[in-house]
């Protein structure tokens, strides 16, 4: 987890170090109160919700182009049959966005996800591609919607596994992420407040046949505050 956090912080610092080259600079914070549901051949497990929090950064270089980054971190408390007392989760997105007009944008970038516990980790990285909508509602209120697909590649290591051939496995993760939110722009404070929901689904395919493939769902309430310079 330390490597992924260091890389993300480095990228974040690079973002904030080059504002002179940008037309617009936006900094803020986001939170996601998320439930976690995991389905395998052995059944479905629902983990109690927790807060994932982290920074939001975006740089606009023209009327149509900008680069954005969101980094979220949270700690899930597992149930009695979960196998681990605590699992730390990282969810990060770096994307290049192109605004076709005031209402529609397309974006592509890198999706990074990770889970870390006392004796193991599970992390992946890969491309993502999506579209976004901005619909004026009334005055400074806007309805925002995004949907994107992803395909990640990574590894799963479990030091506590009783089977040597299950301690490490290559994984492939593919699925989609969707968000809907209502945003309000506070002109006097140059700040945008967004409240909504997020649903994320992806499939874990393990290279080893004896490992349990899984369908994972994360869903919950989102809130963000972003200041525009």
Res 70: pLDDT: 96
Per-residue pLDDT of 17-41, as tens digits, reads 444 455 789 999 999 999 999 998 8
The continuous run of DSSP H or E covering 17 comes out as helix 2-17
Instruction: Classify residue 61 by its DSSP letter.
Output: -
**Per-residue model confidence (pLDDT) at position 163:** 54
Q: What is the pTM of this model?
A: 0.85
What are the tens digits of pLDDT across the range 97-139?
999 999 999 999 999 999 999 888 999 999 999 999 999 999 9
Cα 10 off chain centre by? 17
Exposure string for 51-70, b = 16+ CB within 10 A, e = fewer: ebebbbbbbbeeeeebbbbb
**Spatial CA neighbour of 198 closest among 217, 182, 220:** 220
What's the confidence (pLDDT) of residue 5?
A: 52
Residue 208 has pLDDT above 60, yes or no: yes
| Strand, helix or coil for residue 166 | helix
Residue spans per domain, the chain: 2-228
What is the DSSP code (8-state) at residue 81? T
Q: Give me the CATH topology for the region 2-228.
A: Lipocalin (2.40.128)
What percent of the chain clears pLDDT 90, i.e. is strictly above it? 66
């Amino acid at each position: 987890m330390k490597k992924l956090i260091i890389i993300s912080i480095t990228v974040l610092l690079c973002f904030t170090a080059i504002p002179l080259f940008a037309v617009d600079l936006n900094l803020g914070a986001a939170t996601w109160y998320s439930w976690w549901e995991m389905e395998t051949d052995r059944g479905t497990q629902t983990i109690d919700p927790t807060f994932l929090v982290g920074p939001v950064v975006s740089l606009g270089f023209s009327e149509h182009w900008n680069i954005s980054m969101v980094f979220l971190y949270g700690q899930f408390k597992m149930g009695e049959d979960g196998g681990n007392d605590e699992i730390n989760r990282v969810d990060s997105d770096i994307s290049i966005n192109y605004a076709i007009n005031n209402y529609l944008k397309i974006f592509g970038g890198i999706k990074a996800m990770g889970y870390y516990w006392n004796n193991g980790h599970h992390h992946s990285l890969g491309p993502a591609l999506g579209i976004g909508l901005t619909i004026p509602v009334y005055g400074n209120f806007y309805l925002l919607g995004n949907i994107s697909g992803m395909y990640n590649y990574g590894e799963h290591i479990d030091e506590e596994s009783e089977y040597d051939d299950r301690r490490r496995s290559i994984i492939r993760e593919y699925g989609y992420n969707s968000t809907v939110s209502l945003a309000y722009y506070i002109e006097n404070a140059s700040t945008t407040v967004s409240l909504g929901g997020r649903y994320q689904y992806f499939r874990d395919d393990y290279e080893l046949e004896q490992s349990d493939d899984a369908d994972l769902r994360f869903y919950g309430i989102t809130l963000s505050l972003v200041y525009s310079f």
